[in-house]
Amino acid sequence: MYRDPVPSLEPQPLHATTVAMRPLRVGMIGIGTVGAGTFRVLARNQALIAGRAGRGIKMVVVCARSLARAMSVVGKDVALTNDPMQVATHPDVDVLVEAAGGTGPAREWVLAAIRAGKHVVTANKALLAVHGNEIFAAARQHGVVVAYEGAVAVSIPIVKALREGLTANRIEWVAGIINGTTNFILSKMRDEGVGFAEALAQAQALGYAEADPTFDIEGIDAAHKITLLAANAFGMPVRFADAQVEGITALQGLDVACAEQLGFRIKLLGVAKRREDGDAEGVELRVQPALVPATHLLAHVNGSMNAVMVKGDAAGVTMYYGAGAGSEQTASAVIADLVDVARLDGTRAAQRVPHLGFHADAVNEGLAVLPRAAVHTRHYLRVPVHSAQQIEAVGAWLAAQQVPVLQVALAAEKSLPPGSHTQVLVLTDAVAQANVDLAVHALAAHPAVAGPVVTLRVELLEG
Instruction: Please answer whether residues 334 and 98 qualify as being in contact, where contact means their C-beta atoms are separated by less than 8 angstroms.
Output: no
Point out the catalytic residue in the list 125, 188, 225, 311: 225
What b/e string do you get for 370-403 counting C-beta neighbours within 10 Å, with b at 16 or more? Answer: beeebbbbbbbbbbbbeeeebbebbbebbeeeeb
d(CA 456, CA 265): 12
d(CA 181, CA 91): 40
Instruction: Please answer whether residues 383 and 391 qualify as being in contact, where contact means their C-beta atoms are separated by less than 8 angstroms.
Output: no
d(CA 106, CA 286): 26
Residue-by-residue DSSP string for 195-264 = -HHHHHHHHHHTTSS-SS-HHHHTTHHHHHHHHHHHHHHHT----GGG-EE--STT--HHHHHHHHHTTE
**Residue 25 is which amino acid?**
R
**Residue 463 is which amino acid?**
G
Using alpha carbons, select from 151, 91, 97, 90 the residue that is nearest to residue 119: 97
Q: Measured between alpha carbons, how far is residue 84 from residues 63, 67, 224, 338 in Å?
A: 6, 13, 24, 19
CA 148, 154, 160 angle in degrees (round to 5)? 55
225 catalytic residue (yes or no): yes
d(CA 440, CA 426): 12
CB atoms within 10 A of CB 135: 23
Q: Measured between alpha carbons, how far is residue 210 from residues 47, 62, 201 in Å?
A: 35, 25, 10
Instruction: Please answer whether residues 152 and 178 qualify as being in contact, where contact means their C-beta atoms are separated by less than 8 angstroms.
Output: yes
d(CA 241, CA 225): 13
Three-state DSSP class for 47? Answer: helix
d(CA 71, CA 263): 54
CB atoms within 10 A of CB 44: 12
Listed in order, strand segments (DSSP E) in 358-412 are 376-385, 405-410
Catalytic residue IDs: 225
